[in-house]
């Protein structure tokens, strides 16, 4: 095998290392310039002798800035000639914070994100692995020039995650599978670009197709599937000359929840807690064809009901339990639903449901974006399933307070009170965010020293939910010689007192990442829910740690009015900024994520942008039977009852005397299980009627659980452990 060597050329050129025997050219240094790009800088002849030399990877400093990298590298004569596949070269530029445009010898070869120069609207791409496939004819023997233009919004930007690598394509690179939804049917595209004879074998749900590919042909095949059950695509290609085989598998998204009936159907919740005299905003959660008209019976004094919108409002002046019956009618029929209104000390009788801006918009949130999600909550039908809070997370705050101490919103939030009115008119609720410290995690003003003022302001805006995030208060804790649990509790108690003085119910969400076992004292500090962990992200590792590992021992601490909060649902389009992407969790991982959260009686706060929900995400979020488990009035959090090999079984009792359980496959291979055996092993005996709640069908005797997937069940049993 040929050994390649290190080449150091010319006074202005950069170090180019060829890793021995691997056919890779590793690029470790660049000529670097910060600021606007000089004319002609992508051309090989441009004089960069006065640019500095920078190592790759190394981040540069500078906010809202452009930077340019010029990398000269040598391509040996035999680089393409001796490659097994000569059609494509791969440029692996690792990670770049934030957007980039890469050119080879002056010609664009790839770009990620969108720079503000294009139309003023930047789109982030910082966490996308940059792999650009390039026609190998663009590579010249001898010296080549790679240029990379980078734009970054925040303080530290640039290339990171490793040096750049240029290599010729391997068999693996020739096969691409991509699946997307086009609204009605789902399609997957498999493409193989061959420059040698290749045999392809395609296995869709056990049905096999074969193809032979001649050199120079691109093989593209569209697979359509109805998407109502998991379909595994197994594709293998074999290079006839070498016998080498590459296999790839892919499970496209699939929708298990059957379509909701056209006639009205009452979904969750069955109970609603409100304090005496506090305003009520409740949109009756009926799914079904619109237009729909509504009636309410048994309303206590002080409440009124909008029959066209199905919105309950007003306030009740006397503690007590008030059963209310609703009727809804549409073209397809009519039906009933009932709600037990409990007027007393406890609010959040079932885990809060709604949306929060953080996982999608991060610090780039605006009133317009929140409105878009609020409108979508209604238009998509999510509100008909009980999703009711619309929560603004960090970055709504302006940079100063008025003379009387009132915290003024940023100009991106011109009228928060107007947003509150809009939500209340529609029977929905407004949430806001602050920190007990001077500053929030995003560096915005916190409430320290202005707790009362802020609570009063939020009341005036119609705020119904506060997420109070420790962040800046950590620096105060750091000044204490010894930090005791009471020191952690203090700022939460303080804000609670001011919230309770408001003439409205403000659901209090404590956010301090589970420090000092918050689950043991969160309720006594007035919290209705408390984050039990650090921030979630859209990876299986994160769901595994936050959900499956860290919630295990917490079940005794949760119940009506006081919930453990394992953070928001990382479903739909997320991104913590402007470059939204589909959640990186696979379809099966998303079923497991939502199933576990429902079993845990966790708040169901959607993290994805609601204005760009796809059919899969809607289907995932609108299963009335799964939601009913989450919202069960008894509020018992599931326990992990059995763990064997790669199976975990989590279960909980429900208020109607039945049980709910999830049989999770934590492994990387599909598993066939006998449901009754697993439930018996998990401690249930005398199992009666059993329902597969995702499919809303009777359980089958056995089930195939996909890797990282779940079967979620509701069943009767004579006895439980």
Residues identified as active-site = 469, 535
- Compute the least distance from the CB of residue 577 to ligand GLA, in Å: 12
Distance, first Cα to last Cα, the chain: 64
The residues in 208-237 that bind ligand GLA, with binding defined as CB under 6 A, are none
Judged by CB under 6 A, the stretch of 9-17, 42-50, 440-448, 518-526 that binds ligand GLA is 440-448
Q: Which is nearer to ligand GLA, 432 or 511 (CB)?
A: 511
Work out which of 469, 505, 538, 582 binds ligand GLA, going by CB under 6 A. Answer: 469
Instruction: For residue 262, give the nearest of 285, 283, 228, 287 by alpha carbon.
Output: 287
What's the rounded Cα separation, in Å, for the pair 178 and 522? Answer: 45
**DSSP assignment of 193-256, as one string?**
E-SS-EEEEEEETTEEEEEEE-TT-EEEEEEEE--SS---EEEEEEETTT--EEEEEE------
Work out which of 517, 535, 614, 681 binds ligand GLA, going by CB under 6 A. Answer: 535
- Compute the least distance from the CB of residue 535 to ligand GLA, in Å: 5
3-state helix, strand, coil in the chain (%, to 5): 20, 40, 45
Q: Which is nearer to ligand GLA, 464 or 469 (CB)?
A: 469
Q: Is 441 a binder of ligand GLA (CB under 6 A)? A: yes
Q: Which is nearer to ligand GLA, 314 or 442 (CB)?
A: 442
Q: Is 630 a binder of ligand GLA (CB under 6 A)? A: no
| Consecutive H or E run containing 273 | strand 271-274
Q: Which is nearer to ligand GLA, 388 or 440 (CB)?
A: 440
Q: Is 364 a binder of ligand GLA (CB under 6 A)? A: no
What's the rounded Cα separation, in Å, for the pair 612 and 328? Answer: 29
Judged by CB under 6 A, the stretch of 439-447, 490-498, 589-597, 615-623 that binds ligand GLA is 439-447
- Compute the least distance from the CB of residue 86 to ligand GLA, in Å: 48
CB atoms within 10 A of CB 48: 20
Burial (CB count within 10 angstroms: exposed 0-12, middle 13-18, buried 19+), residue 584? middle
Work out which of 147, 193, 380, 440 binds ligand GLA, going by CB under 6 A. Answer: 440
- Compute the least distance from the CB of residue 469 to ligand GLA, in Å: 5
Q: Which is nearer to ligand GLA, 246 or 515 (CB)?
A: 515
**DSSP assignment of 10-38, as one string?**
TTT---EEEETTTTEEEE-EEEEEESSPP
Q: Is 683 a binder of ligand GLA (CB under 6 A)? A: no
Judged by CB under 6 A, the stretch of 175-183, 222-230, 436-444, 621-629 that binds ligand GLA is 436-444
Number of residues located near ligand GLA, criterion CB under 6 A: 9
Helix/strand/coil for 167: strand
What's the rounded Cα separation, in Å, for the pair 368 and 394? Answer: 15
Instruction: For residue 640, give the nearest of 553, 543, 517 by alpha carbon.
Output: 553
For tokens 């939500």, the residue is: 423
What's the rounded Cα separation, in Å, for the pair 517 and 503? Answer: 31
Q: Which is nearer to ligand GLA, 536 or 711 (CB)?
A: 536
What's the rounded Cα separation, in Å, for the pair 605 and 602? Answer: 9
Judged by CB under 6 A, the stretch of 181-189, 216-224, 438-446, 519-527 that binds ligand GLA is 438-446
- Compute the least distance from the CB of residue 668 to ligand GLA, in Å: 30
CA torsion, points 145, 149, 154, 160, in degrees to nearest 10? -30
Helix/strand/coil for 291: coil
Torsional sign, CA 586, 592, 594, 596:
negative
The residues in 394-413 that bind ligand GLA, with binding defined as CB under 6 A, are 394
Q: Which is nearer to ligand GLA, 23 or 577 (CB)?
A: 577
- Compute the least distance from the CB of residue 444 to ligand GLA, in Å: 8
The residues in 366-395 that bind ligand GLA, with binding defined as CB under 6 A, are 393-394
Q: Which is nearer to ligand GLA, 445 or 511 (CB)?
A: 511
| Consecutive H or E run containing 165 | strand 164-168
Work out which of 110, 442, 559, 653 binds ligand GLA, going by CB under 6 A. Answer: 442
**Is 31 in contact with 40 (CB distance < 8 Å)?**
no
Q: Which is nearer to ligand GLA, 179 or 441 (CB)?
A: 441
What's the rounded Cα separation, in Å, for the pair 653 and 664? Answer: 18
- Compute the least distance from the CB of residue 352 to ligand GLA, in Å: 14
Q: Which is nearer to ligand GLA, 316 or 543 (CB)?
A: 543
Instruction: Kindly write out the interface string for residues 484-523 of this chain, putting x where it contacts ligand GLA by CB under 6 A and - elsewhere.
Output: ---------------------------x------------
**Is 454 in contact with 444 (CB distance < 8 Å)?**
no
What's the rounded Cα separation, in Å, for the pair 48 and 45? Answer: 9
Residues linked to residue 546 through DSSP beta bridges, in sequence order: none
Work out which of 282, 358, 616, 664 binds ligand GLA, going by CB under 6 A. Answer: 358
Q: Which residues bind ligand GLA (CB under 6 A)?
A: 358, 393-394, 440-442, 469, 511, 535
């Amino acid at each position: 095998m040929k050994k390649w060597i290190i080449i150091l050329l010319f006074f202005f050129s950069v170090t180019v290392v060829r890793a021995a025997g691997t056919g890779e050219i590793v690029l470790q240094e660049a000529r670097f310039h910060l600021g606007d790009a000089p004319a002609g800088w992508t051309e090989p002849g441009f004089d960069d002798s006065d640019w500095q030399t920078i190592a790759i990877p190394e981040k540069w400093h500078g906010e809202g800035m452009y930077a340019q990298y010029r990398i000269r590298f040598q391509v040996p004569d035999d680089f393409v000639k001796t490659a097994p596949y000569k059609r494509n070269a791969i440029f692996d530029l690792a990670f770049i914070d934030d957007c980039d445009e890469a050119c080879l010898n002056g010609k664009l070869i790839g770009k990620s994100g969108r720079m503000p120069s294009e139309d003023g609207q930047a789109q982030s791409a910082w966490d996308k692995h940059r792999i650009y496939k390039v026609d190998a004819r663009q590579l010249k023997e001898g010296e080549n020039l790679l240029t990379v233009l980078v734009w970054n919004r925040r303080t530290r930007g640039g290339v990171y995650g490793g040096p750049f690598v240029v290599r010729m394509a391997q068999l693996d690179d020739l096969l691409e599978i991509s699946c997307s939804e086009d609204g009605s049917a789902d399609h997957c595209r498999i493409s193989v670009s061959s420059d040698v004879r290749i045999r392809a074998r395609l296995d869709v749900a056990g049905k096999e197709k074969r193809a032979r590919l001649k050199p120079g042909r691109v093989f593209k095949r569209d697979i359509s599937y109805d998407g109502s059950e998991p379909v595994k695509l197994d594709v293998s290609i074999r290079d006839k000359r070498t016998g080498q085989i590459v296999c790839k598998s892919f499970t496209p998204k699939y929708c298990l929840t059957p379509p909701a009936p056209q006639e009205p159907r009452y979904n969750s919740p069955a109970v609603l807690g409100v304090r005496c005299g506090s305003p009520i905003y409740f949109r009756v959660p009926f799914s079904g064809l619109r237009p729909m008209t509504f009636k309410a019976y048994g309303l206590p004094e002080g409440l009124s009901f909008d029959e066209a919108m199905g919105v309950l409002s007003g306030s009740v002046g006397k503690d007590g339990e008030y059963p209310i019956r609703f009727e809804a009618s549409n073209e397809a029929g009519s039906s009933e639903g009932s709600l037990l209104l409990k007027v007393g000390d406890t609010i959040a009788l079932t885990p809060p449901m709604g949306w929060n801006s953080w996982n999608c918009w991060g610090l780039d949130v605006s009133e317009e974006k929140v409105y878009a999600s609020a409108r979508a909550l209604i238009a998509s039908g999510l509100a008909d399933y009980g999703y009711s809070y619309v929560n603004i997370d960090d970055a709504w705050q302006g940079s100063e307070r008025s003379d009387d101490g009132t915290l003024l919103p940023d100009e991106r939030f011109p009228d928060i009170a107007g947003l509150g009115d809009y939500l209340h008119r529609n029977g929905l609720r407004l949430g806001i965010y602050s920190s007990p410290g001077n500053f929030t995690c995003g560096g915005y003003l916190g409430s320290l020293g202005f707790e009362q003022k802020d609570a009063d302001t939020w009341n005036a805006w119609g705020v119904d939910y506060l997420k109070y995030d420790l962040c800046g208060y950590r620096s105060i804790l750091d000044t204490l010689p010894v930090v005791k649990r009471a020191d952690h509790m203090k700022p939460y108690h303080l804000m609670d007192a001011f919230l309770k003085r408001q003439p409205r119910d403000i659901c209090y969400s404590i956010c301090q990442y589970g420090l000092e076992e918050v689950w043991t004292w969160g309720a006594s500090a007035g919290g209705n829910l408390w984050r039990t962990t650090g921030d979630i992200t859209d990876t299986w590792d994160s769901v595994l740690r936050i959900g499956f590992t860290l919630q295990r021992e917490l079940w005794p601490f949760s119940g009506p009015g006081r919930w453990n909060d394992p953070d928001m649902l990382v479903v739909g389009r997320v991104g913590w900024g402007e470059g939204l992407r589909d959640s990186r969790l696979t379809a099966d991982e998303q079923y497991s994520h939502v199933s576990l959260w429902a079993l845990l009686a966790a708040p169901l706060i959607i993290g994805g942008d609601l204005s760009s929900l796809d059919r899969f995400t809607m289907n995932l979020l609108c299963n009335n039977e799964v939601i009913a488990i989450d919202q069960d009035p008894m509020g018992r959090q599931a326990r992990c009852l059995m763990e064997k090999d790669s199976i975990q079984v989590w279960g909980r009792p429900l208020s109607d005397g039945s049980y709910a359980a999830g049989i999770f496959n934590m492994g990387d291979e599909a598993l066939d299980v006998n449901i009754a055996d697993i439930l018996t092993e998990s401690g249930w005996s005398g199992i009666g009627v059993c329902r597969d709640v995702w499919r809303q069908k009777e359980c089958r005797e056995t089930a195939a659980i996909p890797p990282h997937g779940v079967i979620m069940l509701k069943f009767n049993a004579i006895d439980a452990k």
